Structure formats: structure tokens, C-alpha cells
Amino acid sequence: MVSKPIIFGLAGSSCSGKTTIALNLIKLFPHTVIVHQDDFYKPDSQIPLNKDLGIQDWDCPEAFDMSAMVQSIRSTSKGLQSIGATNNDNKAEDAQSHFASQWANPPEDVDKMVDASVLQSLKQQILQSLHIDTQENIPFSIVLVEGILLFHDRVHGDDAYPATEFDAGMFIYAEYQTLKSRREARAGYTTKEGFWADPPGYFDSIVYPNFIKCHESFIQRHPGILDKYTGTTNKKYSSEPDGTMSELAHIAVCSSDAPAADILSACVYAILDVWKMQQHE
């Protein structure tokens, strides 16, 4: 693997199904490393406080160390390229160890979301498209970046913006009620300094309003993201933040109300398209 790694962004609102797709993509593209945005949350004591509600806001850009995340994406890509360029007897063993660590603790239900026959079919399509006989011969590696705020509206003067790093990406969305029920079914989240459980009404007061507020440009491009439950589908946006629309032109959109297999397939085709375009550069 001597080519430049493909950097693929997989984003969506909280509980939209990103992790399921990410972990199945690893099965199809074994030379993949995941960068989880959740790993870049700031310490609990530095999470912004919503002054109107008097509670912490874990669903805004300021809750993340975006600069550290962007540096991690870049260093991961550089590291994968160096593995591919290394010409020694330990190259295959080093790469196998590096990628295998990404599949340490998959969710128990990940194998139930996409049928084995679908995965097998996609594997064959990948091999045929790349004219190879085994997955180990896939000629590129992938940096798969997963998180809730990858394609959010860019703040003027903010140099640490994840979307500028991606070759392609997928934004997964779902109906309001689907997201709400999934989020409220979760017991909570392990944080850097403890544990966070959403207080009552947190989804309606923080999570979903932030999702809309932070993605105005993206929603302007894809108004179907909002549904009848929000009452804001026809909202007109008077301005677009600095450069955001052009930076998101290469990002596809898919509803998690569609079968996971369909979303997975769309991601596979997007990745293969990037590879084909790179070969003509």
C-alpha cells in the first residue's frame, strides 16, 4: 500500500447509526484505522455550560478539541502511508498488528445489522472493481473518521475544521423521533473524568437544537434531513458560514431509516470512486 490513504468522514447526529456502519466498513476494508471524535472530547471540567439552562453542553463544537483531532487525522494518514512505503520483511506483520488493534471491542449486535450475504457480495464487488483476488491486496488504506460534528458550519477563522481533511464522506440522518428514542434509551456515557447521563429533556433542549443550529449550511443543501416532527423544513437561511458549502460538496447523505446494508453499500461505492479518481490524477 504505497498510495496516499483515503480519508473518509462518517458523520451524523447522535444515535444515527454511525458506529454500525464504521465497524462493518472495517470488515470490507481491513486496512482501515478509525479516528473516533468522541476520543477528542475535552475534560469534563472544560465542557461548555449552557447558561440559559444551567447544564453542560456536550453536543457543540466547543466541547471537542478540534485541533487535536485534525492533527490526529493527519498523523494517522501519514503513518499509514509510511507503513505502505516501508520496504522490509516486517512490513506485512507491522501493518496487520496496526490494523487489527482497531477491532478490539466491537458492539455485540454489530453482526446482526448487516446480513453476512450482503457483506460477502460487497466483498466480491470490491475485489472485482479493484481487479484483485483477496482483501489483503486492496491497494490503499483508509482513515475512517467518525463523529457527530464533522460537517458542521465552520466558524470564521477556525483553522481546525475536520471536513477539509476528507476525500469523501457520508452524513447519516434519521427522523427526530427515531433519534430521540435511541438517545433516551442510553444509560449514559463514560467521560474523561467520570460518567455523564442526560438529564430529563436533554435531547429536546440541547441535542436536537444543536444538531440543527450547527448544520444550517448542510441542511440548506439537503433540506430532507429535517422532517415533519421539527416543523422547520421550510426554514430559509440568510447566510452561509465561511466556505462551508463548497467544502461539503463531496459529502453524500443517507437516512438511517434505510437498511444498514444500503448505507454501507453507498459508503463502499464512494470510497472506490475516490480510489479511481486518484489513479487519474
- Dump pLDDT digits (tens) for 200-252: 999 999 999 999 999 988 888 888 887 644 544 333 333 344 444 445 667 88
Listed as own residue / partner, the contacts of 235-244 with beta carbons closer than 8 Å and 24 or more positions apart are 240/153, 240/216, 241/153, 241/154, 241/155, 241/156, 241/216, 241/217, 242/154, 242/155, 242/156, 242/157, 243/154, 244/153, 244/154, 244/163, 244/217, 244/218
Q: pTM of this prediction?
A: 0.85
At 228, list the grid cell.
Answer: 415533519
Round to whole Å and give the CA distance between 113 and 20. Answer: 7
Cα–Cα nearest to 270, from 247, 257, 253: 253
73: pLDDT strictly greater than 60: yes
Asked if residue 83 has pLDDT above 70, the reply is yes
> Could you give the CA distance from residue 189 to residue 192 in angstroms, rounded to a whole number?
10
Residue 85, number of CB atoms within 10 A of its CB: 11
Determine which helix (DSSP H) or strand (DSSP E) holds 73, and give its type and residue range: helix 66-85
CA-wise closest residue to 265 among 156, 133, 170: 170
Does residue 94 sit within a domain?
A: yes
If you average pLDDT over residues 169-194, what whole number do you get? 91
Q: Which three cell numbers stand for residue 27?
A: 470488515
Q: Which percentage of the chain shows pLDDT scores above 70?
A: 80
**Strand pairing category for 142-147 and 6-12:** parallel
Position 107 scores a pLDDT of: 53
Indicate if the pLDDT at residue 93 is higher than 50.
Answer: no
Q: Is residue 280 very low, low, confident or very high in pLDDT (cuts 50, 70, 90)?
A: confident
Q: How far apart are CA 169 and CA 142, in angstroms?
A: 12
Are 127 and 272 spatial neighbours (Cβ–Cβ below 8 Å)? Answer: no
Give domain status of residue 150, yes or no. yes
Residue 151, in any domain of the structure: yes
**What does the pLDDT read at residue 110?**
57
d(CA 138, CA 28): 10
pLDDT tens profile 142-168: 999 999 999 998 876 677 899 899 999
CATH number, residue 210: 3.40.50.300
On whether residue 109 sits in a domain, the answer given is: yes
Q: Is residue 70 part of a domain?
A: yes
User: Of all helices (H) and strands (E), which one includes residue 179?
Assistant: helix 176-185
Question: Over the chain, what is the mean pLDDT?
Answer: 83
Largest separation between any pair of C-alpha atoms in the chain = 60
Q: How many domains does the chain have?
A: 1
Start-to-end CA distance of the chain, whole Å, equals 17
Amino acid symbol at 240: E
Q: Exposure pattern of 225-258 as b/e (b: 16+ CB <10 Å)?
A: bbbeeeeeeeeeeeeebeebeebbeebebbbbee
- Tens digits of per-residue pLDDT, 28-37? 998 999 999 9
Query: Is there a domain that residue 237 lies in?
Result: yes
- Give domain status of residue 1, yes or no: no
Per the structure, the complete domain to which residue 67 belongs is given by: 6-278
